[in-house]
Amino acid sequence: MNTKEITNQEELFVSGHRACHGCGMAIAVRHILKATGKNVIVVTPTGCLETFTSPFGYSPWRVPWIHHLFENGPAIATGVVAALKAQGRDDTRVLAIGGDGSTFDIGFGALSGMLERGDDVLYICADNGAYMNTGGQRSGASPLYSATTTDPAGRSSVGKFQMKKDIPTIVAAHGVPYVATASVAYLKDLEKKIKKAMTYHGPRYIQIDSTCPSVWGFPSDRTLEVGRLAVECGITPLFEMENGEITKVRKIKKKISIEDYLKTQKRFRHLFAGDQGREALKEIQDLADANIRKYGLLKQAKAETTTSSEEVFT
């Protein structure tokens, strides 16, 4: 696409929303719709995205958009697919865009049902790691040892004690054709994955690391930087799975320590004081290193690396 084509490209997610400055979710949605084009219907459960895109009298959506309950987004999307099929509208595709609360927790049963039935829906989780719309309560996506309003750090606690759910692997276990992870820090990669997902039919899933300056606790002009650090330390691996097999990964150009990532955010500042925090940091570093080994994220010597998957993502 040349410069003129980019300039003339129609925007489908525009001004009129009230997201926080630097909101990773708003950035992600704009580029999702750039990749899908306008022949889509979007359904969105309750959450940040629903709240900041539906103030009375304003809308940033330039495609049909439906808001529904917290727990039934995939079911609503399934109904829209059935209605389109009955009308013979095969060219219109259906997206569900939810946060981690509705995806990992409250709406997971409906999501699992949608996946098991094989419904033709692209489900996208904009994962910002907590229930941000209501103040930052912990969700199944909140990282290990992060401080939330319901798992606060203090003398007797180093934050959330539970591991983050591995939803991409759980989704892939349903036998779906396409699963991917992405980040707002790598927008071209995000758009490529959305476009690829749209070439498939049946249930598909993309999980986007959507950095949140307001609750994670970092300046709003560092949204993309914080997202990049998450990838470069290995705690947020970016990959694609097709029919249950990992087919592509984004290699880490220069590995950083987990501390370089966590220090950027107030939700982890308690880990840098005392022996308990040091033990927690080691445990999180082990998780990042395990991701690096599992997905093969580190670049090897040049003589050993000429695979097409690396060329795509370097």
Kindly report the CATH number assigned to the domain that includes residue 32. Answer: 3.40.50.970
| 77: containing domain | 12-313
Asked if residue 202 belongs to a domain, the reply is yes
% of the chain beyond a pLDDT of 90: 88
Asked if residue 214 belongs to a domain, the reply is yes
* pLDDT tens, position by position, 241-256: 999 999 999 999 999 9
* pLDDT tens, position by position, 99-158: 999 999 999 999 999 999 999 999 999 999 999 999 999 999 999 999 999 999 998 899
Asked if residue 210 belongs to a domain, the reply is yes
* Residue whose entry in the numeric block shows the structure tokens 């495609």: 63
Asked if residue 7 belongs to a domain, the reply is no
Asked if residue 271 belongs to a domain, the reply is yes
Asked if residue 6 belongs to a domain, the reply is no
Strand partners, 13: 61
The pLDDT assigned to 16 comes to: 87
CA 4 vs CA 7, 8, 9, 132, 290: distances in Å = 5, 6, 9, 38, 44
Q: How far apart are CA 63 and CA 256, in angstroms?
A: 40
Asked if residue 2 belongs to a domain, the reply is no
Q: For the chain, what is the domain count?
A: 1
Asked if residue 303 belongs to a domain, the reply is yes
* pLDDT tens, position by position, 252-268: 999 999 999 999 999 99
pTM for the structure as a whole: 0.92
Burial class (CB in 10 A: 0-12, 13-18, 19+), 224: middle
